[in-house]
Amino acid sequence: MMYRRSIVLALMLTTSLVAGCSKQPAPVESAPPPPSATTAMPSAQALDPDVTRAMLDTGAMNAQYAAHFENEKLVRIDEQRVLQSGAALRGEYTYQGARLLHYRGGKIAGPATLDLKFDLQGVLLSGRGPDVTDEDIAAIRNRAQLLRSHALAQRATRIHSSGH
């Protein structure tokens, strides 16, 4: 009789545990996820195999760009960025290898237009004017490097996920 009670008690305990575990947990209120530093636009990838399109959100600005490749080497990035103020700016970066050779477009955080040309050692050849500061040039170089790194990573991810 004792044995039978133990089995019944064990079955009741198991049943209550299973019933307790199968309940859905109460919804937990959580903050929205932080803005992503990188968000690819995979649907646009299929348009042209030599162009990688992506979005980049750095908090201070949102940008979308098209990175153009020739023989698997990055040669140009066309960027459209929107500042927190809502201002929309464009920029075109031309590369040779890892070097920025030419930038044409708005200053990083303002509408004034720049047209900067660099040599292969990174020396500014043209584009300095009274309204172009060293900070403006450094900001363009930094932005060019960030976009280049992001575009190469997006390209590698795309190639890896497609199995090539």
Flag whether 119 is in a domain.
yes
Structural domain of 79:
38-162
| Structure confidence at residue 106 (pLDDT) | 94
**DSSP state letters, 11-33:** HHHHHHHHHHHTSPPPP---PPP
Task: Answer for the pair 133, 109: CB distance below 8 angstroms, yes or no.
Answer: no
Q: Is beta strand 124-126 parallel, antiparallel or unpaired with respect to 38-40?
A: unpaired
Task: Answer for the pair 140, 56: CB distance below 8 angstroms, yes or no.
Answer: no
| Structure confidence at residue 149 (pLDDT) | 96
Flag whether 10 is in a domain.
no
| Structure confidence at residue 44 (pLDDT) | 44
| Structure confidence at residue 59 (pLDDT) | 79
Flag whether 16 is in a domain.
no
Residue 96 burial (CB count, 10 A):
14
Specify the 3-state DSSP secondary structure of 60: coil
**Would you write out the chain's pLDDT as a tens digit for each of its 164 residues?**
443 444 444 444 444 433 444 444 333 333 333 333 333 444 444 568 899 999 998 878 899 999 999 999 999 999 999 988 888 999 999 999 999 999 999 999 888 899 999 999 999 999 988 889 999 999 999 999 999 999 999 999 877 777 65
pTM, to two decimals = 0.69
Nearest 10 degrees: CA dihedral of 80, 85, 86, 87? -50
Indicate the number of domains in the chain: 1
Eight-class DSSP state of 59:
S
